[in-house]
Structures are given as C-alpha cells and as structure tokens.
Structure 1
Amino acid sequence: MIARFALALLTAVTVGSALAHAAPERLTIVGVDARPTVEPLLEALEADMPHTQAEYSEARPSQIISRLLAGVDGAEPIDVLILPTPDLAVYLANEGSASRYPASAIKHRPREHAHWRGEVFSIGYDPAVFVVRKGAIAPIDVPRTRTGLARTLEQNRTRLLRRVGLVNIGIDNVSYAFASQEALRSPLFWRISRAVGAAQARIFDSNEELLQALSQGRVDLAYNVPLSAARKWASENPSIEIVIPEDYVLALPWTALIPEKARNRPTAGDVVDFLLSERAKSALEKVGLTRSQDLATMKNVQFIELGPELLVYLDAVKRSRFLDTWFQLVIQD
C-alpha cells in the first residue's frame, strides 16, 4: 500500500514537473502592418498569456488572400489575423474563410464591441484627421471642417501650391478605405479632391512618408490621415498640429478574425477575447487606437460599420472607376 502511494506521488510530481517545463503553445498572428507598429499589442499579449508563444509576421493583402483562399504558399496556418481595414476581413469571412467565435466581450457588452456574424471583430478605431504644420497657415485659415478645408484650398491656391500632401489611395489600403467611405457620405470629397489637384498636391506612398515630409517642412497640410500615425509623429515633432474635424469624424475599425484553417482555434479564441478586453486597452492606445466609448469627446463620430456593404469598393470595376476619377482630379497635368 505504501509502495503504491509512493509510486502515485512520484508519478504526480513527474507529470507536474513536465507540465511546468512544457514548451509554450505556438500561435501564428499575421497582419499587414510592420512589427514595430503592433509591438505594444504583442508585448501585452505575451504578458497576459505567458504560456503562449505568439509569432507575428507581416504580409501583403494579396498574400493573405492567397494563404486563406487558395492556400498557394507554404507558410504555416494563420491562427489570428489582424487588419487595419475592415473590408478585407469582411471579404474573407464572406468567402467562408473565417471561423465563428462566441467572444465573451460580445456576449457581456455587445454595444461596446462591433462584430459581424461573430466572425469579424472590431478591436479599436482609428479616426481620420487633418494635419497642419504649425505656423505655416494663418490661424484663421486652418481648416476645422471639410467645407473649411475646401475653401482654404480654393482661396489659398498660390500659397499652398505644392504644399499639400496626400497618400496614394491606389497603394495604401487605409487611405483607400477613408476615401471611398467619405465619398459615400459627402459630395465635398470630390470638391476637395479637385481643389487638391489644383494645388498640385504631393502624392506619397504611405502616411509615414507624408508625415515625414510634413515634419521636415516640405508639406504644410495633409488630409484624411489616420490619428494613430499622426499622434506618433506629433509626439516627436512639435511642429505637427492635429486637427480633429468638427463636422464629422470617420472612425475606421481595426479588425481581428480567426481563419477557418487556424491550427489552434481555442487559443486563438483566447487572443480575440484578450483583444476585446479592458486588459488590452492600454496596449491599443499605444498602437494609436481608441475604443468607441473613448471617442465621445469628438463631434459626430461616424463609425465605419462591419458588413457586406464594405465589399462594394472591393469590386474590381467599382474600384477601378473610383481610382480613375480620383487620379483625374488630383493629378491635373
């Protein structure tokens, strides 16, 4: 009897020791942003889930579509996908490539967390803002609304010639999302595009390049810049002034989803729960995102909602026509 007890105790100690020293569970997280952008989120996740080894990799949207729809590359299955625009996430879910998950935050606080069919989850919002180089524009001419922006551009054409910056919406997914959603909401979008073209705006490939040019004094005014990027540059460059539009603010959701072919769905679900929880709030703020309740200080926030309507401007014909019109107005040779 004593021998059996000793054997059982030894077995329990051995198993417990093995579990304590077990290798952490591997999880593959993929996004379109460079690792430094999402590093605060990854560090917070590691602290919250110490027994999970999250491996992050960056991929282009076309690569993500190939991996999830066609399976044409040899990369490991994606367990969690994080995207700074919701249209691709909705597209993947619509194609049957997202797994449904009953996230705890959705069940307990449904109004605070937007989702679509329990497959695509909004983890935070990135509003579009104006950015101005301090002292470059008279205070009375600093635009506070889109109408004011159009007037400033039209009435200061000579002064602002080659001093306005835009991101190429044919290259940058976030800028394309802001542009297409604003075009749906206001005819002022095309008036501003025409005025920007008359000012011979400088076109950049990314918001990082645009904000760098503004901080260096090569550009005085930028439009539809993600607040996350603007805050990062403003914290290091006192010459940058962020202007929150007073007519309305477009809030673009960052999204997360669990692919249908995820290798580790239970742990991926834990990651989604973490991203939606209050525990992730501080890390999301470091990334530059805000939760819906934190946008209450902004006037007339218009949330870009998750749903099939986001697929309209992903249509190849619709996208081509939209970009053709934009380029004709913005690049006036």
Structure 2
Amino acid sequence: MRQFVLSLVLTLAATAVAALEIEDRTLFGPADATRRLRILSTTDTAIFAPRIESYLATVPGVSIDYIVASSADVMAEMTGGQAAYDLVISSAMDLQTKLANDGHVQRHSSEVTRDLPAWAKWNDMVFAFTQEPAAIVVSDAAFAAEGIPRSRQGLIDVLRRNPERFRGKVGTYDVRVSGLGYLFATQESRVSETYWRLTEVMGGLGARLYCCTSEMIDAVSSGDLYVAYNVLGSYALQRQDVSGISIILPSDFTTIMLRTVVIPVEAPEPELAGDFVDHILAQAFGRDPALSVDRWLSNSEMALSRINLGPGLLVYLDQLKRAAFENEWRNAILRE
C-alpha cells in the first residue's frame, strides 16, 4: 500500500468540530482509503507519527486523521462536542480516567491488554503506553558559576542566591489552562512540600506561565528562559541536539506520568480502534523509542514517583478541591 502523509490546513464543515481549537491536523495514509480512524490527541504529530506509520504498514486500505489539541480542549470536546472520534490519546491521566469513570469510554480486552502490568491499565478502559518523567530543562550558561542543580532544593538555593539573574527567566505550566500542568502540580504537592516552596520562589521571580512543553523548551533554547520547570522529559529528549541546555531528572524524586489511550463509546470504528490500541501497546515501554524513556529511567538511581491510574486521580478534579488548589497556586506564583 502506498503510504503518504498530507499536512492539512482545513476549514471544518461541522460546527462542533470547528469549535475545537486545533493545534495541528494531519492525514496519514491514502486519501481514498475505505476505512478511516479519527484520533484526537494531545501528543505532537511529529512525536507520535512513527507509531501511526508502523500501524498503517500492517493494514491496507486504512487512513488515520490525526488531530492535536490541548488536554483541556480534548476534555471539552469529549464531554460536550458532537464529533465522533475513534481514539483519544492524552498525557492528562486524570482527565482520561474521568472520561472513563463518567461513561464516555468503552471497554477493550484482548490478549495484548491482558498481558499489560496492572499499573498500566484501569478497568479495561484506560491503557498506558509510555512512562514519561517530569523534567527540568535549564540553560547551561545561566548555571555556569554554580553548576547544574540536581534536586528541587538545589534549584531553590540557586534561584534565591541570584534573584536578579533569574527574574523573568523561569517558566512553568499555567495549571489553570494546562491539564498536564495541573496533574503534575497536584501529584507533586502530594509527595513533598518542596513543591510549594519552589512555586513561591518562582512566583517571587515573576515566573512566566505556559500551556505547553514545546514552548518552554523553545524558550530555554533561545535564551528567553533559563529554567523550564516540569516539562515532559520525552519532549526534552527529542531536543538533545540543541546545544547549551541540560535536562534534569530531580534526584529527590522524579514524577512519572503515563500517557494513555481510550476508545470513546461512540467510536465509529471500534474494532479498528481496538486493533490500533493493541498495536501501540505491543510496542510499549521501551520496545519503540519514539516516546518511551524507559531506558533513560532504568539507569537512574533517583526515586521515581509514578502517578497511578485509578479513581485516586479524580480527587483533584472535584470542583471544590480544584478551586482550593488553584487559589493556593495563585497565591504562591502570582502573588494574588
């Protein structure tokens, strides 16, 4: 089967789809394919493309419409939109779990899913296919005098001693708009109070807030930022060719996120969706280097704090708890 990738800049006909703020959209495979999978995802196209292409090589007559949006927009689309998707892929484990818990996701069971470790699946609805650390990306030049810090406390110490150097040069997620940023922040705050001390220090330096990992890494590589806190380690690894930046996995503990996939209840192609899920799960956890950082983590002596799938992720999605957390976060980082 002749494979090709066509980048699309589309004016969408359906009103519901038009309301979705699409960051990127790509059609993989033949435009005249008899069957088509529609995937709504938070993962950048370039990062996920190898897995799509390896799947299409096994299934003639299939194409994949791959749509990228923010985790918050993905959640809104799945709970309030009218468009039908076959698969939803997201780094926001809590939001994926909520979709499943609230009845928006169908079950899928196969020989592949049964072989997954218990921590990589929940209720045969949410399936993890990567382990990815929250990392700190820093400018080597900005830390030349003190050396690259290896822990959160080490970073706090350098920032406190050099406020003028780092003022306006520290970036992190805006947890009000980034589902992944909110997940990292809430989970980290449960593990250690160091999170709040560091957040207050960043707030005192006029921390700049971002929606996405890629934007933060770009800012560090350009010199616009000196520190990008809690970025996705997998994305950072893709940028190792950029000179002058270092990737830190904090030695005190490194938060590990699981990127997950679900099949919506109204998927037009549920059997094909299940086949695609099995394909990427069969490649998961180090067998395909496109997204996995398992080999990186296996050599680490640091404490790894994996975020667990399950109803515990719903705690901070409670409206009152979320409001309380965001209020404390605003006080710390925005000084409101």
Bucket of the pairwise TM-score, normalised by the shorter protein? 0.7 to 0.9
Query: Which amino acid in structure 2 is aligned with residue 104 of structure 1?
Result: E
Alignment of 1:316 with 2:326, yes or no, is: no
CA contact (8 A) 1:200 1:332 kept: no
Query: Which amino acid in structure 2 is aligned with residue 253 of structure 1?
Result: L
What's 1:97 paired with?
Answer: 104
1:34 deviates by: 4.4
Query: Which amino acid in structure 2 is aligned with residue 296 of structure 1?
Result: S
In the alignment, the residues of structure 2 paired with residue 60 and residue 200 of structure 1 have an alpha-carbon distance, to the nearest angstrom, of: 25
1:68 deviates by: 4.1
Alignment of 1:35 with 2:45, yes or no, is: yes
In the alignment, the residues of structure 2 paired with residue 62 and residue 243 of structure 1 have an alpha-carbon distance, to the nearest angstrom, of: 27
In the alignment, the residues of structure 2 paired with residue 153 and residue 279 of structure 1 have an alpha-carbon distance, to the nearest angstrom, of: 38
1:85 pairs, out of 87, 92, 95, with 92
Of Structure 1 and Structure 2, which has the larger fraction of its residues in helix? Answer: 1
What's 1:241 paired with?
Answer: 246
2:299 pairs, out of 283, 297, 300, with 297
- Structure 2 vs 1, CA of residues 281 and 25 (structure 1 numbering), >3 Å: closer, same or farther? farther
What's 1:8 paired with?
Answer: none
- Structure 2 vs 1, CA of residues 25 and 281 (structure 1 numbering), >3 Å: closer, same or farther? farther
What's 2:261 paired with?
Answer: 256
Query: Which amino acid in structure 2 is aligned with residue 132 of structure 1?
Result: V
Q: Alpha carbon RMSD of aligned pairs, Å?
A: 2.4
1:197 deviates by: 1.3
What's 1:25 paired with?
Answer: 35
In the alignment, the residues of structure 2 paired with residue 161 and residue 69 of structure 1 have an alpha-carbon distance, to the nearest angstrom, of: 40
What's 1:193 paired with?
Answer: 199
In the alignment, the residues of structure 2 paired with residue 62 and residue 167 of structure 1 have an alpha-carbon distance, to the nearest angstrom, of: 13
CA contact (8 A) 1:41 1:280 kept: no
In the alignment, the residues of structure 2 paired with residue 69 and residue 210 of structure 1 have an alpha-carbon distance, to the nearest angstrom, of: 29
- Structure 2 vs 1, CA of residues 65 and 246 (structure 1 numbering), >3 Å: closer, same or farther? closer
Q: How does 1:65-84 map onto structure 2 within 5 Å? A: 65=75, 68-70=78-80, 72-73=81-82, 75=83, 77-84=84-91
CA contact (8 A) 2:86 2:269 kept: yes
Query: Which amino acid in structure 2 is aligned with residue 48 of structure 1?
Result: T
CA contact (8 A) 2:136 2:248 kept: yes
What's 1:156 paired with?
Answer: 162
Give 5+ residue unaligned stretches, structure 1. Answer: 1-21
What's 2:175 paired with?
Answer: 169
- Structure 2 vs 1, CA of residues 119 and 228 (structure 1 numbering), >3 Å: closer, same or farther? same
Give 5+ residue unaligned stretches, structure 2. Answer: 1-31
Report the 3-state secondary structure (helix = DSSP H, G, I; strand = E; otherwise coil) of the residue aligned with 1:262: coil
Single out whichever of 28-37 and 307-316 deviates more from structure 2. Answer: 28-37
In the alignment, the residues of structure 2 paired with residue 127 and residue 214 of structure 1 have an alpha-carbon distance, to the nearest angstrom, of: 18
TM score, norm. by length of structure 1:
0.83
CA contact (8 A) 2:132 2:232 kept: yes
Larger radius of gyration: 1
Of all paired residues, the percent bearing the same amino acid is 30
Higher RCO, Cα 8 Å, sep 6+: 1
- Structure 2 vs 1, CA of residues 259 and 128 (structure 1 numbering), >3 Å: closer, same or farther? same
In the alignment, the residues of structure 2 paired with residue 156 and residue 62 of structure 1 have an alpha-carbon distance, to the nearest angstrom, of: 35
In the alignment, the residues of structure 1 paired with residue 59 and residue 254 of structure 2 have an alpha-carbon distance, to the nearest angstrom, of: 35
Alignment of 1:129 with 2:122, yes or no, is: no
In the alignment, the residues of structure 2 paired with residue 280 and residue 127 of structure 1 have an alpha-carbon distance, to the nearest angstrom, of: 13
- Structure 2 vs 1, CA of residues 141 and 325 (structure 1 numbering), >3 Å: closer, same or farther? farther
1:90 deviates by: 0.5
1:244 deviates by: 1.7
What's 1:275 paired with?
Answer: 280
1:155 deviates by: 2.3
In the alignment, the residues of structure 1 paired with residue 88 and residue 130 of structure 2 have an alpha-carbon distance, to the nearest angstrom, of: 14
TM score, norm. by length of structure 2:
0.82
What's 2:62 paired with?
Answer: 52
CA contact (8 A) 2:71 2:178 kept: no
- Structure 2 vs 1, CA of residues 206 and 294 (structure 1 numbering), >3 Å: closer, same or farther? closer
1:95 deviates by: 0.8
Question: Which digits, 9 at most, give the CA deviation of each residue in 1:99-150, with x for residues without a partner?
Answer: 1111323323435x61001110001022111111112113644220122122
Question: Which digits, 9 at most, give the CA deviation of each residue in 1:47-86, with x for residues without a partner?
Answer: 233343222223455554455445x42x2x2211111121
Report the 3-state secondary structure (helix = DSSP H, G, I; strand = E; otherwise coil) of the residue aligned with 2:165: coil
In the alignment, the residues of structure 2 paired with residue 330 and residue 306 of structure 1 have an alpha-carbon distance, to the nearest angstrom, of: 28
CA contact (8 A) 1:81 1:256 kept: yes
